[in-house]
Structure 1
Amino acid sequence: MKYQFWKYQGTGNDFIFFDGREDVSVIKDNKEVIARLCHRRYGIGADGLIILEKHETSDFRMVYYNSDGGESTMCGNGGRCSISFAHFMGLAGEKTNFQAIDGLHSGEIANEGWIKLGMNDVSDMKRLDERTYLLNTGSPHYVRLLDQGEDIDIVAFGREIRYSAPFAQEGINVNVVQEMDGKIKVKTYERGVEDETYSCGTGVTAAAIVYHRSMNNLPVGDIDVMTKGGALKVSFNAHKNRYTNIVLHGPVQMVFTGQIEI
């Protein structure tokens, strides 16, 4: 049977979308099918797959799967793309609220095609050493601050951390952060993709919070972030160890649409 799909990308983090108001039972929770659709040689190719469904109290529900086929925790760039797709499909207006695996999120289509995504508050941050932190921004993240000029192979480093004893079973996303020209540059190794992705929304959010925490005199406001896939911003309010009103800002693009036989 043929199924209509849409392909979106947010700063190079790409996703396959299906309209869950239709019968997509052959896809939902089917790890083999989802992994095949996300495969970049034998399928459409993507970092993840998202199904948008009706919801009783919100505009829609976002169901997110990693490219390995498993349902995963919150995806920031996937959330931003979901806002754009929901608006395109008539599920939501320019301002919306929707349900994800970690609860309720707000969103807005802003100027110049940028999408704003409200993230959950962050208060539980663990410092492993002066340059390394653990925190959860909807997904679990390991964040390492790099010195100026320091270079790390993110794939090799990410795999080493992700499969180390404390994290091997559940997995963890691994980020390295470097300040440059008044911005931060972030590289991310994502569990479930098991590779570097061009961008990671929850990772960028985690990196911006850790960077702010390490710079006690940094004023609260937008933090500009550069990723392999492009520019993002993270804004928040800081209250000692608690971060609230966190918003992830960035561009979104529909890449193409088509039909595929499943």
Structure 2
Amino acid sequence: MQLTFYKYQGTGNDFVMIDNRSEFFPKNNTKLVAQLCDRRFGIGGDGLILLENHPQYDFKMVYYNSDGNESSMCGNGGRCLVAFAKQMGVIENKAEFEAVDGYHYATIDAEGIVALQMKDVDTVNQYEDYTFLNTGSPHHVQLVDDLVELDIKTEGAKIRYSDLYGKAGSNVNFVYQLANDIFAVRTYERGVEDETLSCGTGVTAVAIAMHQSGKTNNNIIDLNVEGGKLKVQFDVDNGNYTNVFLIGPATFVFEGKIDLDF
């Protein structure tokens, strides 16, 4: 059969989008998802996302990493799915949807800027050299002196597979402070097993970690990633981070068809 797909990217974090409201897609076919995400033998993407019906909200998000496995929350993927849902006529400028980590609210403006509400964070574990927290996905956050020359794939993999995080592993964010409320971030993503140009849950984790550790006192923080610029804003009360929003562009790249045998 021919599969119609759509390609979206959010600050360089790219995704294969599939309208699965008719529930035709074989969701347990890990090999197929990995093949579609393969940049040489498939479409190519950091992940694959299914747009599905939901009995209560506008839609449901089902997210797979490029290794073919269903995964934890993807912030940039969620933002791109909101833009895709608008393209499909499911929403106009606001969305309520369910993802693997629960309920999300989002808005999208005429320029394609999506503000996605992320999960509240009430636990931030600070250590001498790093911070760990979960923003829908687990994230290790570590300040470095040189972000440009750092071998992200090698150093990220060391931490991701270390005894710190066991079999499940963690995403790893390396951070360089540019100003009081501006940070440069490079991220190693588990499931992709490489550096990605951007990670939404990652920059959300960085913003909260930098605030919690006293590196900034702002609650609106700019994050420069390899694929562009994102913004994170939040309310905070006694270490509890609420009304957390990840804000940035979500861009349609192209639509296509691919022949599949499943």
Query: TM exceeds 0.5?
Result: yes
Alignment partner, residue 64 of structure 2: 65
Alignment of 1:247-258 (within 5 A): 247-258=245-256
> Is 1:62–1:82's contact at 8 Å kept on the other side of the alignment?
yes
Pick aligned residue for 1:142 from 135, 140, 143: 140
> Is 1:145–1:211's contact at 8 Å kept on the other side of the alignment?
no
- Count of aligned pairs: 259
In structure 1, list runs of 5 or more residues that go unmatched: none
Alignment partner, residue 234 of structure 2: 236
Give distance in 2, aligned partners of 1:216 and 1:207: 11
**1:164 counterpart = 2:156:** no
Alignment partner, residue 53 of structure 1: 52
**Partner amino acid for 1:167?**
Y
How far the C-alpha of 1:148 sits from its partner, in A, is 6.8
Give distance in 1, aligned partners of 2:142 and 2:69: 26
Alignment partner, residue 6 of structure 2: 6
SS in 2 for 1:232: strand
> Is 2:124–2:212's contact at 8 Å kept on the other side of the alignment?
no
**Partner amino acid for 2:45?**
A
Alignment partner, residue 177 of structure 1: 175
CA RMSD for the aligned pairs?
A: 1.5
| Stretch moving more, 59-68 or 152-161 | 152-161
**Partner amino acid for 1:57?**
Q
Give distance in 2, aligned partners of 1:168 and 1:20: 34
Alignment of 1:47-126 (within 5 A): 47-110=46-109, 112-126=111-125
Give distance in 2, aligned partners of 1:150 and 1:255: 28
Give distance in 1, aligned partners of 2:147 and 2:97: 41
How far the C-alpha of 1:8 sits from its partner, in A, is 0.2
How far the C-alpha of 1:58 sits from its partner, in A, is 0.3
How far the C-alpha of 1:25 sits from its partner, in A, is 2.9
**Partner amino acid for 1:51?**
L
Alignment partner, residue 37 of structure 2: 38
**Partner amino acid for 1:60?**
F
SS in 2 for 1:72: coil
Give distance in 1, aligned partners of 2:240 and 2:223: 21
Give distance in 2, aligned partners of 1:73 and 1:215: 28
1:190-229 deviation digits (Å, cap 9, x = unpaired): 0000000000000000001111122266132x20110000
Give distance in 2, aligned partners of 1:108 and 1:124: 26
**TM-score normalised to the size of structure 2?**
0.95
SS in 2 for 1:258: strand
How far the C-alpha of 1:157 sits from its partner, in A, is 1.0
1:204-261 deviation digits (Å, cap 9, x = unpaired): 00001111122266132x2011000000000001112111100000001110001111
SS in 2 for 1:164: coil
- TM-aligned CA distance change 1:38 to 1:128, over 3 Å: same
Alignment partner, residue 127 of structure 2: 128
**Partner amino acid for 1:64?**
Y
SS in 2 for 1:70: coil
> Is 1:148–1:179's contact at 8 Å kept on the other side of the alignment?
no
Give distance in 1, aligned partners of 2:186 and 2:59: 31
**Partner amino acid for 2:44?**
G
Alignment partner, residue 223 of structure 1: 221
Give distance in 2, aligned partners of 1:238 and 1:41: 44
Which portions of structure 1, spanning 4 or more consecutive aligned residues, are displaced by more than 4 angstroms? 148-151
Alignment partner, residue 193 of structure 1: 192
Percent identity between the two aligned chains = 50
